[in-house]
Amino acid sequence: MEDLNEEEALKRIMEMRSSLFSFLVMLLPPEADVEAVFQEVVLGVWKAVKAGGVENFEAYVYGVAKNQAKQCLRKLGRDRLVLCDGPVLEHLAQEWDKQVGFSGGNDRQDALRNCLGKLKGEDRSRLGAYYGDRQTIRALADEEDRSEASLQQIFHRLRVKLKGCIEGQIAGEGEPV
On whether the CB atoms of residues 65 and 16 are closer than 8 A, the answer is no
pLDDT in tens, 63-115: 889 889 888 887 876 654 444 555 665 666 666 666 655 444 456 777 887 88
pLDDT band at 145 (very low <50, low <70, confident <90, very high): very high
Half-sphere exposure at residue 70, Cβ-oriented, CA atoms within 13 angstroms: 14
Mean pLDDT for the stretch of residues 4-28? 84
- Residue 16 DSSP code: T
On whether the CB atoms of residues 99 and 54 are closer than 8 A, the answer is no
pLDDT of residue 27: 81
* Beta-ladder partners of 2: 54
Tell me which H or E stretch contains 56.
Answer: none
> What structural domains and CATH numbers belong to the chain?
6-100 (1.10.1740), 106-170 (1.10.10)
On whether the CB atoms of residues 177 and 165 are closer than 8 A, the answer is yes
Task: Please indicate, yes or no, whether the overall pTM of this predicted structure exceeds 0.85.
Answer: no
- Cβ-count burial of 36 within 10 angstroms (0-12 exposed, 13-18 middle, 19+ buried)? exposed
User: Would you list the DSSP string of 41-53?
Assistant: HHHHHHHHHHHT-
Whether the pLDDT of residue 24 is over 60: the answer is yes
pLDDT of residue 104: 46
